[in-house]
Amino acid sequence: MQRPGSLSPLRITRFYDNGIKFFSIDGTKLPDEVEEAIEAEMEKEITCVDSSELGKASRIVDAAGRYIEFCKGTFPNELSLNELKIVVDCANGATYHIAPNVLRELGANVIAIGCEPNGVNINEEVGATDVRALQARVIAEKADLGIALDGDGDRVIMVDHEGNKVDGDQIMYIIAREGLRQGQLRGGAVGTLMSNMGLELALKQLGIPFARAKVGDRYVLEKLQEKGWRIGAENSGHVILLDKTTTGDGIVAGLQVLAAMVRNHMSLHDLCSGMKMFRRFWLTYVMRPVAAIRWRMATLRR
């Protein structure tokens, strides 16, 4: 979420991959060359100055409340979640006191799990990286669907009422198709080298252009900016909607799927039915050193 007047926002990352993420004044991740320049400066000898010469950090008052209102603002005013029963899994992470409130304030009957962070249990058998707990709870509660966010909230994976996993490729398909139906889709959609071929074929049937970027949400964003398009995603659940925000946001992406469900009176399962997922196969190749390959080729020639 962009904040007027902010200069260089930053985010402290989760405990198991500790660090600091800087964002540009536009609210986007910094290019590789800028991050590398910052790293190079950090390697230099540190010069200390008097405390009076240090810069000042500002704190946003009621950041959570502002963000809740921002998320709700991306959901169509004329729609409501009153008839939906939703299980939301917050991965014991950053969204545990945000996502349930957003959904409740939009009218949904919410069952929240993964909302008991203790400082070390983030993403531990919960959240977008492990949806088994969500799948079981959706079925047990006879819920309409489940929404799983990851620890820092920039990824979303969903589960339909039958317990089937709905990944980032399927989420982008639903959002892109709905954008086309509403006449709001500008250009095409960007995936990655890992995007399912079923996504590309399904979008082609709809007449929606599709491009692949390198794996990584920053490269999806770069491709979107290059093409002048608005929608991009990774199958892992990073979904970028440039008409809504400047970077991946799991709550915002999930709300757009919910809007498509409500507007079309369709279940999540039915919304996914127009896209046939292809099975994935992972192959590992052991690459020999160049010298060994040359020696082997010379041996074969003899």
Q: Give percent of the chain above pLDDT 90.
A: 70
Q: Are residues 178 and 127 in the same domain?
A: yes
pTM of the model: 0.84
Q: Are residues 142 and 37 in the same domain?
A: no
Task: Name the least confident of 20-34, 114-128, 213-227, 243-257.
Answer: 20-34
Better pLDDT: 250 or 14: 250
Q: Are residues 36 and 89 in the same domain?
A: no
Provide the pLDDT for residue 244.
Answer: 96
Q: Are residues 248 and 117 in the same domain?
A: yes
Categorize the per-residue pLDDT at 8 as very low, low, confident or very high, splitting at 50, 70 and 90: low
Q: Are residues 139 and 106 in the same domain?
A: yes
Encode 74-112: b = buried (16+ Cβ within 10 Å), e = exposed.
Answer: bbeeebebeebbbbbbbbbbbbbebbbbbbeebebbbbb
In terms of residue numbers, what domain contains 225?
67-272
**First-to-final CA distance of the chain:** 66
Q: Which residues contact 90 (CB under 8 A, 6 or more apart)?
A: 96, 98, 99, 100, 112, 113, 114, 115, 126, 127, 149
How confident is the prediction for the chain on average, in pLDDT? 90
Provide the pLDDT for residue 42.
Answer: 82
In a domain? residue 154: yes
Q: Residue 149: which CATH number?
A: 3.40.120.10
- pLDDT tens for 263-296 read 999 999 999 999 999 987 767 767 666 767 776 6
